[in-house]
A and B are shown apart, each in its own frame.
Chain A
Amino acid sequence: MNSDAQAVTSPVAEVPLSRRFGVVWWAALAVSGALVLLLGYTLLSVSILGVGVWGVNIPFVWGFDLINYAWWIGIANGASLFAAILVLRRHDLRTAVNRFSEGVALFAVICAGIFPIFHLGRPWLFYWTFPYPATFQVWPQFRSTLTWDFWAISTHVIVTSLLWYVGLIPDLATLRDRARRRTSQQIYGILALGWRGSVRHWAYHQRAYRLVAILVLPLILIMQSTVAFEFAVTLVPDWHETRQPLHFVATGLAQGLSIVLLVAVLLRWGLRLRRYIDEGDIDLLGRLVLASSLVSGYLYLDEFVSALLADRMAQEATLSRMSGDYAGLYWTAIVYSIVIPQLFWFRAARQSTIAGVFVGLSIGVGIWFDRFSIIVGGLQIDYLPSIWRTYSPTLLETGLFLGTIGLFSTLLLLFARFLPVVSMFETRHDEHREKSS
């Protein structure tokens, strides 16, 4: 490796190799760690006492568990779709934000997976949804959304972790070369799979990386549609619509992009990576967030128009979601995911760290309220008036949700410390190209 390349990548590589972890990092890890403990507590209580400790009951068999599942899947999908498109288009932005997107996607899938498993009530029997030769001699019910969840989540975990790991291999080799202690050299060395940086290695690597990225594209659409079909295939008037997958894919993309923006802005500020994630990158990301939020806005409008054209029951159900007991959720979703992102029409807002954090969080919150509105508000009007009632989460459900946020940020914090958050090999590549041109 020549000295130029070393100069370019050393700040990025030094973060994971440094022994001094800042106070802010430790404080953030402490808070996240506490939330992970809370997650453990809530999961243990639901496993021991059963799903009765949650506020779910007929007709609300899906409460916080599915709201948060759909929400985390949205983040995961948006982030990995974004990463895959950047890899495939060889876009400049990929250098800066790809690795976060992949990391965000992977950690979000892990958080998402927790909910449907514990929603089973007997989570230790989750493998019953897998078609294996069981002693009870019955196949899983393939028409059940539970089995769809199983295939969707496991496929998603595999493809997302492949994308993340394949992209990481050359950087793991760099870390191996930079590591000071022999044990860390060997650990990074094994993870780098004997990478020596030969031309043949690079050629194979590019092919593998793009191949996995191509796999992501249909997967994301299928995955988000699977979540949407879980609603669409039921007979609940508000859910039984063919537009459901489109709604989930589009709003999920906005949500994924906003979280990528949030993490990018925070890491840029926290790890002082202004040189690697430059103003142009952040500006482009801001524009994408704005565009995806406009698409979500269009879909909300479509929802309203479809409701007007639908049969009386579906119409009543959707309108009740907008004006009934849970109307607050619907309008909060609109304000947070559509109205607030309009700030990004201004260049100054796109460049500002505070505005980036604000809008990133706002879309995330908005889509969460949208999922809440669909899952709970959508059940307000059903064919049987006897089941018209309300749902509110218990403390344990809220704790579980906060816990997964803690798990997500813990993983992200550890990732920021132990692995290069900005792709070093891509950065080097870009710098060389600039010099030669």
Chain B
Amino acid sequence: MAQLFTPAATTLFRVVIVLMGLGIVAIGVTAYIWARSDSTWNVGKPAPQPVPFRHDLHSGSLRIDCRYCHSTVERAADAGMPSAQTCMSCHSQVWVGASVLDPVRTSFTLGQPIEWASVHRLPDYTYFHHAAHVTKGVACETCHGRIDQMPKTVKTQTLSMGWCLDCHRDPVPSLRPREAVFAMGYEAHGDDLPNDVRAFYREASRRLTSCNTCHR
């Protein structure tokens, strides 16, 4: 009977075993890096929108307050999206004939909402309350970034659970005084908070990291 394997087969077999071991490690490392990369979390990736709305223009150049459009952000879980009436309060006067605003006018006439594509969508098993954050000193900018400089709205943070926990475990350095919550470009360092607030949030991390704070 002819030989099944050449003498080199043993070496080859050993090399394959070592390569398989290295391959498993490589898969682990790749998965680790991939799971943390911005592209996996769609950071910096704009969604196709019905109207080419520009935050840099409205919020940046025109300095319209966030709450003018996202009117429930201080009161409800949802920040709120503006109705066509809100848009038309200016756009009945400016850019009246612009075709890019057709969906807004249609929405206004028919009373149907504009179908914006969500950029910051959390999973439905996560409970997030805008007012709970905003009224306690978490600024818009902390999670949404320099929205006043964005021609197209994108995520600047992963919004992963680990990212949420970074702050929930130690909220003080990210908190701002109330008057700076809607400001852009403010450097939060926690030192400008009253002492009792800082003491309170140093104690709060146990409550804030309980499972049912966010998963109800």
Contacts from A to B (Cβ < 8 Å): 133-138, 176, 182, 185-186, 189-190, 193-194
In the complex, what residue of chain A is closest to B5 when comparing beta carbons?
Answer: A189
Q: Contact between A136 and B165 (Cβ–Cβ < 8 Å)?
A: yes
Given that A137-B165, A138-B161, A176-B4 are contacting pairs, would A194 and B13 also be in contact in the complex, using a CB cutoff of 8 Å? Answer: yes
Inter-chain contacts of A133 with B (CB < 8 A): 32
Q: Per-position contact with A for B163-197: 1 when CB-CB < 8 Å, else 0? A: 00110000000000000000000000000000000
Expressed in whole angstroms, the Cα–Cα distance for A186 and B1 within the complex equals 13
- Number of A-B pairs, beta carbon distance below 8 Å: 32
In the complex, what residue of chain B is closest to A137 when comparing beta carbons?
Answer: B162
Expressed in whole angstroms, the Cα–Cα distance for A134 and B161 within the complex equals 9
Q: Is B160 an interface residue (CB 8 A)?
A: yes
Looking at the assembled complex, report how far the CB atom of A242 sits from the nearest CB atom of chain B, in whole angstroms: 30
Q: Contact between B160 and A135 (Cβ–Cβ < 8 Å)?
A: yes
Given that A185-B4, A189-B4 are contacting pairs, would A138 and B165 also be in contact in the complex, using a CB cutoff of 8 Å? Answer: yes
Expressed in whole angstroms, the Cα–Cα distance for A189 and B9 within the complex equals 11
Expressed in whole angstroms, the Cα–Cα distance for A273 and B162 within the complex equals 60
Looking at the assembled complex, report how far the CB atom of A151 sits from the nearest CB atom of chain B, in whole angstroms: 19
Expressed in whole angstroms, the Cα–Cα distance for A182 and B3 within the complex equals 10
Looking at the assembled complex, report how far the CB atom of B124 sits from the nearest CB atom of chain A, in whole angstroms: 13
Looking at the assembled complex, report how far the CB atom of B175 sits from the nearest CB atom of chain A, in whole angstroms: 20
Contact check: which of B4, B5, B10, B160 meets A136 at CB < 8 Å?
B160
Expressed in whole angstroms, the Cα–Cα distance for A186 and B162 within the complex equals 49
Looking at the assembled complex, report how far the CB atom of A351 sits from the nearest CB atom of chain B, in whole angstroms: 43
Q: Contact between B5 and A194 (Cβ–Cβ < 8 Å)?
A: yes
Contact check: which of A136, A185, A190, A194 meets B162 at CB < 8 Å?
A136
Q: Is B35 an interface residue (CB 8 A)?
A: yes
Question: Which B residues between 1 and 33 are near A, CB-CB below 8 angstroms?
Answer: 4-5, 9-10, 13, 32
Expressed in whole angstroms, the Cα–Cα distance for A431 and B36 within the complex equals 61
Expressed in whole angstroms, the Cα–Cα distance for A137 and B168 within the complex equals 12
Inter-chain contacts of B4 with A (CB < 8 A): 176, 182, 185-186, 189
- Pick 13 A–B contacts, CB within 8 A, sort by A: A133-B32, A134-B35, A134-B162, A135-B160, A136-B162, A137-B162, A138-B161, A138-B165, A182-B4, A186-B4, A186-B5, A189-B5, A194-B13
Inter-chain contacts of B166 with A (CB < 8 A): 137
Expressed in whole angstroms, the Cα–Cα distance for A134 and B28 within the complex equals 12
Inter-chain contacts of A189 with B (CB < 8 A): 4-5
* Most chain B beta carbons < 10 A, residue from A135, A138, A186, A194: A135
